[in-house]
C-alpha cells in the first residue's frame, strides 16, 4: 500500500504515467475512489504548473497589484 501511494503521488505530480503496484502498468487509476481521483487531478495540475506558480497564486502580494 505504501509503495502504491508513493509511486502514484510521484507519477501524478511529475506526469510520468503509471506508478507501481495497483496503479502500475498492468493496472490503472480506475480502482481509486472519486476523492482520490480529484486529489490526483489536482496533483497533476500542480505538477504541470510547477509548484512555484501555484505558490505565487496563494500569496497576498500577487493579488495586491
- The pTM score is 0.63
Position 5 scores a pLDDT of 85
Q: What's the rounded Cα separation, in Å, for the pair 56 and 22?
A: 34
* Cβ atoms 18, 11 nearer than 8 A: yes
Position 30 scores a pLDDT of 84
Position 34 scores a pLDDT of 94
Position 18 scores a pLDDT of 84
Q: What's the rounded Cα separation, in Å, for the pair 8 and 62?
A: 32
* Cell numbers at 47, concatenated: 505538477
* Cβ atoms 19, 8 nearer than 8 A: yes
Tens of each residue's pLDDT in the chain, 65 residues? 788 888 888 888 888 888 888 888 888 888 889 998 899 888 888 778 777 777 888 888 877 86
Amino acid at each position: 500500500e505504501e509503495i502504491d501511494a508513493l509511486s502514484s503521488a510521484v507519477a501524478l505530480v511529475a506526469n510520468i504515467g503509471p506508478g507501481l503496484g495497483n496503479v502500475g502498468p498492468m493496472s490503472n487509476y480506475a480502482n481509486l475512489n472519486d476523492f482520490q481521483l480529484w486529489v490526483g487531478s489536482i496533483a497533476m495540475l500542480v505538477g504541470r504548473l510547477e509548484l512555484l506558480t501555484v505558490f505565487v497564486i496563494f500569496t497576498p502580494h500577487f493579488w495586491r497589484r
